[in-house]
Amino acid sequence: MAAPSCSALGVWVRGSWQRLGDLFTFVSKPLCSAAAASRPLDAQRLAERLRAQKQEQKTKKPVPTNPVQRRVQELLRFTEQLQRVHPNVLAKALSRGLIHQDKDLVVINKPYGLPVHGGPGVRLCISDVLPVLAKMLHGHKAEPLHLCHRLDKETTGVMVLAWEKDVAHQVQELFRTRQVTKKYWAITMRVPVPSAGVVDIPIIEKEVQGQERHHKMTLSPSYCMDNGKMVRVRTSRNAHLAVTQYRVLSSTLSSALLELQPVTGIKHQLRVHLSFGLDCPILGDHKYSDWNRLAPQKLSACILKKLGLRQSKARHIPLHLHACQLTLPALQAGKEELNLVCKPPRYFVHTLRRLGLKMPSRDQNGDKEATHSGAQ
């Protein structure tokens, strides 16, 4: 019998391996399927976790050596984390920063970057955690707390909540009728002239034309200059009366610490009056530092040097506006007014030091007998 040729041998070997492969596939498929069916989710989660870790390593930025840049990066990360934390965790953090609590009210120290109400792109807000916070403070049978007023997402400080809806409506009416005294601290670029005064200019919301169409609050003055003469102009029906008292507490050549007392409560009133009325925008106010566009705030070379930052990093600077004091009239006969004082957050104090601005003394701030909260 003739020996098989090389080509025939090759065909036989390939055919044998093909049959063995088919047999292996036939036997192993059920086994693999059974193993996969028992732990399909574990394997998928493990793969997703590994991919996430690799992606995080690729995008992980080096920790800056400059302490200011490091603090700015921490604030940015903190703001992002606030939108991802569990409501219970956020409620616990708010409960630790209580300024005041009695049978009618709960006063919290609102942190930076946390919105009060929900909206597009908002995953978590203060109103969402009020039921959890109430249970932490008064037990599992407690009814949800109620909001009495609001603060902007980027504003920190005193915020009043009520246990009962009737009390919340009572406090809201006090705010509406301007019986509540509110004081804010703001760090500004440049120093206002004069060093104390009143800004009494109506405010209106307008659409900004350009590449990025958006709406902003702006001034709607009752007078304008015409050929060197002051002429009264017709006031728009949509304009709102807006009055802000201010005084300089500390200043340098390039920046200032201001105490602000809004008489009215129009949306973004303090930011608009400072930026467009006094030409002293609040540090970190990237919305109202320029009317025509939405862009990071342009900082002077002096401020950048003191903060140890480059202009490219200015977009991460938080808004330096803090609700430092709130005085509520007595809610019931026989009770005294409630004076609530909240210390500024650590980043605010740190910026004051870097810019060479001085913190006002307790006597200067008029809070000798106030209820206090520690710095965030």
Asked if residue 43 belongs to a domain, the reply is: no
Domain harbouring 317, CATH code: 3.30.2350.10
| Residue-level pLDDT at 101 | 95
pLDDT confidence band for 12 (50 / 70 / 90) = very low
Asked if residue 212 belongs to a domain, the reply is: no
| Residue-level pLDDT at 259 | 98
pLDDT at 87 > cutoff 90: no
| Residue-level pLDDT at 376 | 52
| Residue-level pLDDT at 29 | 46
> Which residues span the domain enclosing 180?
67-201+242-355
Asked if residue 128 belongs to a domain, the reply is: yes
Instruction: Give Rg (Cα) of the chain.
Output: 30
Asked if residue 82 belongs to a domain, the reply is: yes
50-65 residue pLDDT tens: 777 777 666 665 666 6
Least confident piece of the model among 4-13, 219-228, 310-319: 4-13
Whether 202 contacts 222, CB under 8 Å: yes
Least confident piece of the model among 110-124, 173-187, 252-266: 110-124
pLDDT confidence band for 213 (50 / 70 / 90) = confident
Length of the chain in terms of residues written: 376
Cα–Cα–Cα angle for 124, 112, 271, rounded to 5 degrees? 115
pLDDT confidence band for 207 (50 / 70 / 90) = confident
Mean per-residue pLDDT for 230-248? 90
HSE at residue 244, side-chain half, CA atoms within 13 A, is 30
pLDDT confidence band for 21 (50 / 70 / 90) = very low
| Residue-level pLDDT at 52 | 75
Asked if residue 40 belongs to a domain, the reply is: no
| Residue-level pLDDT at 282 | 98
Asked if residue 100 belongs to a domain, the reply is: yes
User: 321 is written with which tokens?
Assistant: 């506006």
Backbone angles phi, psi at 20, to 5 degrees: -65, -40
Asked if residue 88 belongs to a domain, the reply is: yes
Average pLDDT, the chain: 83
Whether 158 contacts 323, CB under 8 Å: yes
Active site residues: 152
Mean per-residue pLDDT for 168-193? 96
State the total domains in the chain. 1
Mean per-residue pLDDT for 339-348? 95
Asked if residue 125 belongs to a domain, the reply is: yes
- Residue that wins the pLDDT comparison between 13 and 118: 118
